[in-house]
């Protein structure tokens, strides 16, 4: 139970980051943000653009999706969780390296 919850939490974070920051293969996530209108001025954004431009909103939607997957078959979340761990470790490693260089 605890392992599946950790995997689900990491997958939730990774999926939210995919839609908020990443370009993705074939620029898929950037195209989604563009089609939704995220690159318009804030006053011209529609509902979906406002949701995609808010990281907190995306974490909620990703959590809903991951909860559904967790109930059905949580093993499908493992690749997202492993990607999240790799990104977090990479970022931590860079921070440590920069501190060591000082």
Tens digit of each residue's pLDDT (9 = 90 or more) over 37-53:
999 998 899 999 999 99
| Domain span holding position 51 | 2-101
| pTM metric for this prediction | 0.82
Element (H, E) at 71: helix 55-73
Mean pLDDT over 88-95 rounds to: 74
Q: What's the structural domain count of the chain?
A: 1
């Amino acid at each position: 139970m605890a392992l599946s919850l950790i995997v689900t939490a990491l997958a939730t974070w990774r999926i939210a980051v995919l839609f908020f920051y990443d370009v993705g293969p074939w620029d898929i996530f950037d195209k989604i943000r563009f089609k939704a209108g995220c690159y318009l001025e804030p006053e011209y954004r529609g509902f979906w653009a406002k949701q995609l431009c808010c990281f907190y909103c995306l974490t909620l939607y990703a959590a809903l999706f991951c909860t559904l997957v967790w109930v059905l078959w949580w093993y499908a979340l493992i690749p997202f969780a492993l990607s999240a761990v790799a990104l977090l470790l990479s970022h931590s490693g860079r921070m440590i390296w920069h501190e060591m260089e000082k």
